[in-house]
Amino acid sequence: MAIIESQKSRTIRARDKNPPKSSKPRAKPGPKPKAGPRTTARFDKDARREDLTFHDWGQVFDWMDDHGDLSQTQVAAYFATRPDAEGGKLAFTQSALSKKLKKKDEIRALVGEDPAALSHSW
């Protein structure tokens, strides 16, 4: 019986041991290659948009009053590429501009009542 018990202990020990490790580390799976060449370009679409303040919308309204012959799409395109010397870029869509133009008088009245409202947004 001693032989049977020793054989059982050998099989148990063999199961409990970790399998021998390979001398070479396994390669970790990386990202799958994309179709097309690599690029280091940064896209503006990745940047997060923030709500414009009443002050920002006031700048847009004043600029539109001075340049009344432009479409809303052209106004949005101008402010998206406006130089830093003129106040920097403001990101908004034609749709957002249309909505704010409907509330233009309300926004200006709010700012007239409380100048601290310039830093607020809707």
Decide if 47 is inside a domain: no
Mean pLDDT value of segment 45-66: 80
Decide if 37 is inside a domain: no
Decide if 50 is inside a domain: no
pLDDT for res 46: 46
Give the total number of structural domains in the chain: 1
Q: Of the ranges 7-16, 32-41, 55-64, 72-81, which one carries the lowest mean pLDDT score?
A: 32-41
Tokens 């997060």 label which residue? 48
Decide if 36 is inside a domain: no
Decide if 13 is inside a domain: no
Contact 57, 107 (CB under 8 A): yes
pLDDT over 90 (residue 26)? no
Decide if 8 is inside a domain: no
Decide if 109 is inside a domain: yes
Domain that holds residue 75: 55-119
pLDDT for res 103: 93
Taking alpha carbons only, the member of 61, 56, 55 closest to residue 114 is: 55
